[in-house]
Amino acid sequence: MTPRSDPPVADDDTVTVATGAGPAQASVIWMHGLGADAHDFEPLVPQLRLPKHLPVRFVFPQAPVRPVTINGGYRMRSWFDIYGLAPNVPEDEAGIAESARRIHACIDRERDAGIDATRIVVAGFSQGGAVALHSALRYPQRLGGVLALSTYLPLRDRLASEASAANRDLPILMCHGRFDPVLSLQFGEWSRDALLALGWPVEWIAYPMQHEVSLPQIADVAAWLRARLE
């Protein structure tokens, strides 16, 4: 039998999905990618098949609509502006910081709802994964882990000086497609290596896929979440 996944609850900028039986014992805050919305990863929740005895609240925030330089200034849902994807292109520091503050507020709300910070995982895909890495590693209280899918580490030259002492060894799972045409495998590898060099315990898995989520990856993500939260 597939574990319970309650109908999603949505407000103006967040979708929430509950699994398992009883009140939530853990939370996963999951950011969508560029141009998507808060419903993008909602169908993934039942596919994770988390056990009934592990009630988890999945919180899917929604990025604001803003012009994106790399897409010709076209307005779309975006966590921050992207000027380009070459290694030396400037980054939208203000936009990244704004999104990080919002994710920190989401974490605070989960803690206010009774979830211990160590049982909160911050996750994201593509641009959302960049926000997940940036915000979680700077959060002042110890978290449960970071799940970073098909993404990269933004503002990596500043991480050593800005990282929270509480999350200096936070478990990180990074997954990437070997044939990703949007964010190349090398982007992910650079980010992985930067994190490893600074002492983070990164688990890295590359899949024979493009910029997407695959069934083997879903199984690996589910196993990693159970290991962090059970």
Burial 201-221 (b: 16+ CB within 10 A, else e): ebebebbebebebeeebeebb
CATH number of 9-63+92-229: 3.40.50.1820
Domain extent listing, the chain: 9-63+92-229
Cβ neighbours around 6 below 10 Å, total: 13
Whole-number pLDDT of residue 230: 86
Q: Would you please indicate which residues are annotated as catalytic (active-site) residues? A: 126, 180, 211
pLDDT tens-place string over residues 63-120: 999 999 999 999 999 999 999 987 789 999 999 999 999 999 999 999 999 999 999 9
Say what the pTM is. 0.93
Chain segment 45-73, per-residue pLDDT in tens: 999 999 999 999 999 999 999 999 999 99
pLDDT for 7 equals: 45
Q: What is the pLDDT of residues 189-224, one digit of tens each?
A: 999 999 999 999 999 999 999 999 999 999 999 999
